[in-house]
A and B are shown apart, each in its own frame.
Chain A
Amino acid sequence: MSDTTSTEHEWPLWEVFVRSKAGLDHKHCGSLHAPDPKMALQMARDVYTRRQEGVSVWVVRSDQIVASDPGDKDMYFDPAEDKVYRHPTFYVLPKSVDHM
C-alpha cells in the first residue's frame, strides 16, 4: 500500500454534467476520479446514470473550472439588486394590454 497511497498516484478529478432528457440543459451532478477522458466518460455513465437519468454526459477536469470566489458574492451579484427595471413586472400597463 505504501507508494500507491500518495496523491501523485491518484487519478485526476472530473466534474460530471448530465442532460436528463432531450431539450434540457446539462446539469452538474457530481464528480469522480478517472485517468483519462474516455474512462471518465464511461465511469460517469456507470456512476451517475444507472437508472436512465441521462441521455448525454459531459465530463470536465475539475482543475479546468474557473469559479467565482464565495467571498466576492456580494460584490459580484448585488449590483443587479437595484435594477428592478430589468424585470417585466416593473412596468405597470393597463389591464387590457397587460398580457404583453
Chain B
Amino acid sequence: MYTQAMDTMGKDKDGPKAVRSAEELRLEERFDERIDAGGFIEAKDWMPEHYRKTLVRQISQHAHSEIVGMLPEGNWISRAPTLKRKAILLAKVQDEGGHGLYLYAAAETLGTSRDQMLEALHTGRAKYSSIFNYPTLTWADMGTIGWLVDGAAIMNQVPICRCSYAPYARAMIRICREESFHQRQGYEALLTMMQHGTEAQKAMVQDAVNRWWWPSIMMFGPPDDQSPNSAQSMRWGIKRFTNDELRQKFIDAAVEQAKVLGVTLPDPDLKWNEERQAHDHGAIDWKEFWRVIGGDGPCNRERLGARVKAWDEGAWVRDAALAHARKQSHLKEAA
C-alpha cells in the first residue's frame, strides 16, 4: 500500500537550475523527447538532476510509508479474532515489508544508499504517509484500513505502474499485483462483521469508518491548486493524474462500497452531482493534514520511536551477520 501524493511534501529549496550548459540543454532536450514519446528512463541513463531528486524523494517516502505502515497493523497480529484472520494479517504485513524493500531498491538505483534513506527517516528529515500517524483502536480498524487506506493507496499507485522511471514502474507493477488482496480482505472482514456480527460489532465498524474516512481521502494530498510540484511531475511522467482527480475517483467508488457494506460515510455534504456526474464532498480539514505531516499527529512520535528502536536494537544482528560473512570468506581464501 501506501503512497501519498508526496510531491508536495518536500521543501525543495533547489528547484530546476536556471543556468545550464549547452551540452546539458541538448541532453535535456533528448530526455524530454524520450518522455514525450512515452519512453522509459533506466538507472544509468542521463536525467536532469531535479528529476533524480524528485524521484529519490518520492520513492524513498513511499518506501518509508510501507515500512512504517506495518506498525499500526502489527499492533493487531496477536489480537486477531481467529487463526484465519491472523494468518491473513501476517501475510499482509509481510507484503508491506516486501513492498518497502522493492521500493528502497528502486530508489538505490538513483544513487542514494539504503543507510542514507533510513537515516533520513530516523532523524525525521524524510516524511512518510500521514495516515500511519493515526491509532488503530479496534479490530474493525484492520478491516477499515484494508478497505479505505489500501483502497486509496491502490488508486494512487496504479498510475505509477506507467511512471517514466522504469525501476520504479517495475516495482509498482509487482506491488499492485500483490496489493489487491489487501483491500479485498479488509472489505470482507468488515462485511463479515456487518452481516453476522452483534450490534456492538456493527457499531464498531461504523466507528472505525468514521475515524478513517477523512484521513483516507487526505492521502491523495492537497488540492490541485495547492500542489506546486504537480505540473512538473506530470510533465515528466512521474505522475499521471492530479490529486483531486484521484480523490474523486476514490470517493465515487467508496460511496457504492459503503452502501453494500451498510455503513454511512461521515460527511453530511457528500452527495451525487448530476451535472458533474460525480459526488460532491464537504471541506477537508487541511490544517489537520499539515499538522500530522509536520510531526504533530496522534502517533507520530510513537511510530518513529518504534522504527528507531527496532533499527538500533537490530544493529548487533546486522553487524554479527556481516562479521560472520567476512570470517567465512577469509577462511575460504585461506583454505
Do A35 and B324 have beta carbons less than 8 Å apart?
A: yes
CB-CB under 8 A from B312, the residues of chain A are 1, 4
Do A36 and B115 have beta carbons less than 8 Å apart?
A: no
Interface residue B257 (Cβ < 8 Å from any Cβ of A): no
Interface residues of A in 65-92 (CB under 8 A from B): 67, 69-70
Do A50 and B98 have beta carbons less than 8 Å apart?
A: yes
Classify chain B: how many residues form its interface, as a range: 35 or more
User: Closest CB-CB distance, A85 to chain B, in whole Å?
Assistant: 29
CB-CB under 8 A from A51, the residues of chain B are 178
Interface residue A31 (Cβ < 8 Å from any Cβ of B): yes
Cα distance A30–B94 in the bound complex, in angstroms? 17
CB-CB under 8 A from A33, the residues of chain B are 114
Interface residues of B in 96-138 (CB under 8 A from A): 98, 101-102, 105, 108, 113-116, 118-119, 122
Classify chain A: how many residues form its interface, as a range: 20 to 34
Interface residues of B in 309-328 (CB under 8 A from A): 311-312, 315, 318-319, 321-322, 324-325, 328
Q: Is the interface of B mostly helix, strand, loop or mixed?
A: helix
Q: Among A7, A13, A30, A35, point to the contact of B322 (Cβ < 8 A).
A: A35
Interface residue A47 (Cβ < 8 Å from any Cβ of B): yes
Do B322 and A31 have beta carbons less than 8 Å apart?
A: no
Do A70 and B119 have beta carbons less than 8 Å apart?
A: no
Cα distance A42–B98 in the bound complex, in angstroms? 14
Q: For residue B95, which residue of chain A has the nearest CB?
A: A50
User: Closest CB-CB distance, A30 to chain B, in whole Å?
Assistant: 6
Do B113 and A7 have beta carbons less than 8 Å apart?
A: yes
Q: Among A9, A30, A67, point to the contact of B318 (Cβ < 8 A).
A: A9
Q: Beyond A1-B312, A7-B113, A47-B101: 20 further Cβ-contacts under 8 Å? A: A1-B122, A1-B308, A1-B311, A4-B312, A4-B319, A5-B116, A5-B122, A7-B116, A9-B115, A9-B319, A11-B318, A30-B105, A30-B171, A30-B174, A31-B105, A32-B101, A36-B328, A39-B321, A47-B102, A70-B45
List chain A positions with a Cβ less than 8 A from chain B: 1, 4-7, 9-11, 13, 29-33, 35-36, 39, 46-47, 50-51, 67, 69-70
List chain B positions with a Cβ less than 8 A from chain A: 42, 44-46, 91, 94-95, 98, 101-102, 105, 108, 113-116, 118-119, 122, 170-171, 174, 178, 308, 311-312, 315, 318-319, 321-322, 324-325, 328-329
